[in-house]
């Protein structure tokens, strides 16, 4: 008699009970999945990850207390074999890129068809990275190698902005007009496909433009 394959052990971490319970109900309809825990915040999964020993964690990004990115980093320090699959409502490229750069192996939007969550789990269990269609489409232009390169001046201004300086402070530091800084800021966002100043800071951190400084958490 053949031995039954081990179940995929899943932990769901989301601060919205209805979301967590809905995901649990979806996953429990599959014979090869076991939902071993539903938790409401990053601290809980960090405290319990070694005891629970999940194969995959479905993790929300925005939760009270410690955020999803920091949670991902700490979990992977404590239990590197754990696969982190982000399940989020945010489809902006900076969110997706940041999640992947922090160690997540997949990113799925919360409005996907229910069977796509299972496909994502199967993919990351097979050692693959998984991006749902919406996330993949959002990220592609952000990672396009043909994207316009930043000029030296734009890199300088990116560094200034990422350090938390206002347009007026950057203008004074570089002896240029505030209007010129505003123009460069708009060009940076356009070239990098980033919609916010926080996104510029994350880009600077992830690409070595900013060493140290204040990290903007998701």
- Does residue 212 fall inside a structural domain? no
Do 189 and 134 share a domain, yes or no? Answer: no
- Does residue 2 fall inside a structural domain? no
User: Where are any strands of DSSP class E within 78-216?
Assistant: 83-88, 106-109, 130-131
Residue 203 confidence (pLDDT) = 75
DSSP conformation class of 60: -
Give the structural domain span for 158. Answer: 152-206
Residue with tokens 């696969």: 83
CA distances (Å), origin 213, targets 68, 155, 157, 198, 210: 20, 16, 15, 13, 7
Binned at pLDDT 50, 70 and 90, residue 207 comes out as: low
Residue 114 confidence (pLDDT) = 87
Binned at pLDDT 50, 70 and 90, residue 160 comes out as: confident
Question: Where among 142, 175, 193 does a domain terminate?
Answer: 142
Residue 32 confidence (pLDDT) = 96
Q: Could you tell me the pTM of the whole model?
A: 0.65
- Does residue 31 fall inside a structural domain? yes
Query: In terms of Cα–Cα distance, which of 99, 43, 29, 108 is closest to 71?
Result: 43
- Does residue 217 fall inside a structural domain? no
In the predicted structure, residue 37 carries a pLDDT above the cut 80: yes
Q: What percent of the chain has pLDDT over 90?
A: 41
Mean pLDDT for 83-110 is: 88
- Does residue 192 fall inside a structural domain? yes
How many CB atoms within 10 Å of residue 140? Answer: 12
Distance CA 197, CA 143 (A): 18
CATH number of the CATH domain containing 69? 3.40.50.2300
Residue 2 confidence (pLDDT) = 52
In the predicted structure, residue 206 carries a pLDDT above the cut 80: no
CATH number of the CATH domain containing 157? 1.10.10.10
Considering its fold, how many domains does the chain have in total? 2
In the predicted structure, residue 193 carries a pLDDT above the cut 80: no
Residue 109 confidence (pLDDT) = 93
Mean pLDDT for 51-71 is: 91
Tell me phi and psi for residue 132, to 5 degrees. -65, 165
Do 13 and 73 share a domain, yes or no? Answer: yes
What is the average pLDDT score of the chain? 83
Do 187 and 98 share a domain, yes or no? Answer: no
> Mapping DSSP to helix (H, G, I), strand (E, B) and coil, where does residue 87 land?
strand
Question: Where among 98, 116, 142 does a domain terminate?
Answer: 142
- Does residue 50 fall inside a structural domain? yes
Do 36 and 125 share a domain, yes or no? Answer: yes
Do 81 and 124 share a domain, yes or no? Answer: yes
Q: Which long-range contacts (CB under 8 A, 24 or more apart) does 18-23 make?
A: 19/60, 19/110, 23/58, 23/87, 23/117
Do 28 and 62 share a domain, yes or no? Answer: yes
Mean pLDDT for 141-156 is: 64
């Amino acid at each position: 008699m053949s031995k039954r394959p081990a179940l995929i052990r899943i932990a769901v971490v989301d601060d919205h009970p209805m979301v967590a319970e809905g995901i649990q109900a979806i996953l429990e309809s599959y014979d090869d999945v076991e939902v071993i825990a539903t938790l409401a915040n990053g601290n809980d999964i960090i405290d319990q990850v070694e005891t629970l020993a999940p194969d995959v964690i479905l993790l929300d990004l925005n939760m009270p207390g410690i955020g999803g990115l920091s949670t991902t980093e700490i979990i992977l320090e404590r239990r590197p074999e754990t696969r982190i699959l982000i399940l989020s409502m945010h489809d902006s490229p900076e969110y997706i890129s940041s999640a992947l750069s922090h160690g997540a192996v997949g990113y799925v939007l919360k409005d996907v068809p229910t069977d796509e969550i299972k496909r994502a789990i199967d993919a990351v269990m097979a050692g693959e990275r998984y991006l749902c269609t919406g996330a993949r489409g959002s990220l592609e232009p952000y990672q396009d190698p043909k994207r316009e390169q930043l000029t030296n001046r734009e890199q300088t201004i990116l560094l200034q902005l990422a350090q938390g300086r206002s347009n007026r402070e950057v203008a004074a530091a570089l002896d240029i007009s505030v209007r010129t800084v505003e123009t460069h800021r708009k060009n940076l966002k356009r070239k990098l496909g980033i919609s916010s100043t926080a996104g510029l800071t994350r880009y600077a951190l992830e690409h070595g433009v900013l060493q140290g400084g204040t990290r903007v958490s998701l």
